[in-house]
Structure 1
């Protein structure tokens, strides 16, 4: 469960993303980014916000996972996107979440166990707020997760690869790279051989692959 505060952010999340994207090797310099939607994972410790933004720029769709922290993440300065002032929580350090161990564990958990995005509750309200991006893992693991560790992610050809100890994760940065592999897991599970996180949003006919576990 993710708690959303009624707050003013300076700079805004989209402003941070717009400054970050042109510096990335997988971003094509075309058009200003516009938010398509977002989804969240839950940090069981309640310390780190984990929110993935899906944005459009030109004719392409990009996936930008962010983690929000109330303190600096040791050893992750190269992955710091910026800081913002949150009118409720104070100063927040915003990271490319692919370098954040809390995000890595949450992503692996969703993929391996078939978990969906976290329910979002606006602070003080009893009904969840609908997520603008719906995701679900294709795995069915009901036991313990394998041991995970964080290492520096490596990006190229529209994806980011994360070596996480016993797992290697792939995050699709350019979502259109996976459009041809769009899969309806309920109708055609045989078409999808990897364990993955699939997602959909308004206007998208079939789920697309957002991330996966790479098999050696």
Structure 2
């Protein structure tokens, strides 16, 4: 379960991505063009310390890009190259926003979501002491999950940041599809797929394979 705050961000997540995305090797769009959201889904950090949100964004004349983001209350050691930017959250204060592919908390959450078949977290707002469900903007399905224990992910050993970004950990190999299109790759492992407004057919978003 992801418990969210009704808050404002300065700058917004889309403002940060408009600046950051053109510098990525997998970006296909017009640099400087406004980035708009097509949908988003979340995972849970069991420790409750790191926010984990995957955004599907694009420009008016370009494809949809998938950007996992993690939100932290302090900088992540050794992750400067994965920093998207900082923002001021009206409830939580300053947040450091990272590309999740370089954050070990995201790798653990993604592996768990895929290999257990649990998919995305349910989202709630807390309003006047009551929890109100937030409607999902992306429908997530998992294909191929086995009824077996999920190994501890361990350290992230390397990340290869390409159209299909590889996250190589001690026990699990993960792939994040940066520009989702139809056509699953069965050899890549268990598949997490999704659909959203404007994308009615389910397309692969990420893969996981144990060593």
Shift of 1:152: 3.7
Determine the structure 1 residue equivalent to 2:89. 86
Give the alignment partner of residue 110 of structure 1, picking from 113, 117, 139: 113
Instruction: Find the counterpart in structure 2 of residue 202 from structure 1.
Output: 197
C-alpha contact 2:192 2:204 (8 A) present in aligned 1 = yes
TM-score (norm 1): 0.88
Q: Is the 8 A contact 1:111 1:136 kept in 2?
A: no
Matched residue, 2:57: 55
Using the TM superposition, name which of 144-153 and 193-202 deviates more.
Answer: 144-153
2:4 matched residue in structure 1: 4
Are 2:151 and 1:137 equivalent residues in the alignment? Answer: no
Among candidates 24, 44, 64, match of residue 67 of structure 2: 64
**Which residues in structure 2 correspond to 1:23-38 (within 5 Å)?**
23-30=23-30, 31-38=33-40
Q: Pairwise CA RMSD of aligned residues? A: 1.8
Partner of residue 185, structure 1: none
TM-score (structure 2 length as normaliser): 0.90
**How many residues are matched?**
204
Which is richer in strand? Answer: 2
Cα deviation, 1:47-93, whole Å, max 9, x if unaligned, reads 00000000122231100000000011111111111110001001100
The runs of 5 or more residues in structure 2 that have no matched partner are none
